Amino acid sequence: MGNVRRVPTSTIEPPADAEAPRRHPKAPGPGERTREHHSQCRGCADVPGSLRIRSWVEDDGVSVRSRFDVLDEHQGGPGLLHGGLLMTAFDDALGTAHTQVVRAAVTARMETDFRRPVPVGTTLWLRSRVDAVVGRKVYTSGVAYLGELDGEVAGTARALFVKVGAEHFLKHSRPEDLEALGASREVIEAARAAP
């Protein structure tokens, strides 16, 4: 391990004096289904390989509840959910909660506690919320329950998302995916030429 450089990590504890988050005026309202991140998202879009997570807005307009049906294709250990896919579920659900408050943000850091094994055939219910927004930083947390909302806790997670603009995707996404979203070659090339 001698040649592995240690990368410093920083805290994702939200500051105690941060203001309570407010629902973005264009976000769906209480009880409504949330929008998928985009049409090819493997967390929430209805495409092959997706976890097909579905989310609804809670009464406070900011938190979301999400449903994830654990299938054979999600196994890690025999008949049990793969831990990385529980993290994917949290990333998607927490990343849906943040869309209630801010336009676009990407996961910078996530921590997950795995409390109980999750058998294939289980429906996992997740509750996710934005705890605070400070500048570009969006602090989120969530809980995954076995079988029913507020049932036995399968895992918990916290994540820091960082707000980004369209240029994040114009710079980093594949050009063909951006063109499918309506961006022109010129706009993509200009974003990539910018410092």
Ligand X SMILES: CCCCCCCC/C=C\CCCCCCCC(=O)SCCNC(=O)CCNC(=O)[C@H](O)C(C)(C)COP(=O)(O)OP(=O)(O)OC[C@H]1O[C@@H](n2cnc3c(N)ncnc32)[C@H](O)[C@@H]1OP(=O)(O)O
Which spans of this chain sit near ligand X (rule: CB under 6 A)?
10, 12, 37-38, 43, 91-92, 95, 104, 106-109, 135-137, 160, 162, 164, 166, 169-170, 178, 181, 183
Residue 17, both tokens: 């004096």
Give me the least distance between CB of 49 and ligand X, in Å please.
14
Give me the least distance between CB of 79 and ligand X, in Å please.
27
Q: Give strand pairing partners of 119.
A: 80
Distance CA 120, CA 138 (A): 32
**Residue with Cβ nearer ligand X (4 or 7):** 7
Output the CA angle 169-98-123, nearest 5 degrees: 110
**Residue with Cβ nearer ligand X (1 or 7):** 7
**Residue with Cβ nearer ligand X (145 or 169):** 169
**Residue with Cβ nearer ligand X (15 or 147):** 15
Give me the least distance between CB of 160 and ligand X, in Å please.
5
Residue 37, both tokens: 């991140």
Give me the least distance between CB of 139 and ligand X, in Å please.
10
Q: Are 35 and 29 in contact (CB under 8 A)?
A: no
10 Å CB burial of residue 187 (0-12, 13-18, 19+) is: middle
**Residue with Cβ nearer ligand X (120 or 183):** 183
Give me the least distance between CB of 78 and ligand X, in Å please.
28
**Residue with Cβ nearer ligand X (85 or 108):** 108
Helices (H), the chain: 83-97, 166-172, 175-180, 185-193
Give me the least distance between CB of 195 and ligand X, in Å please.
12
Distance CA 87, CA 81 (A): 11
10 Å CB burial of residue 50 (0-12, 13-18, 19+) is: middle
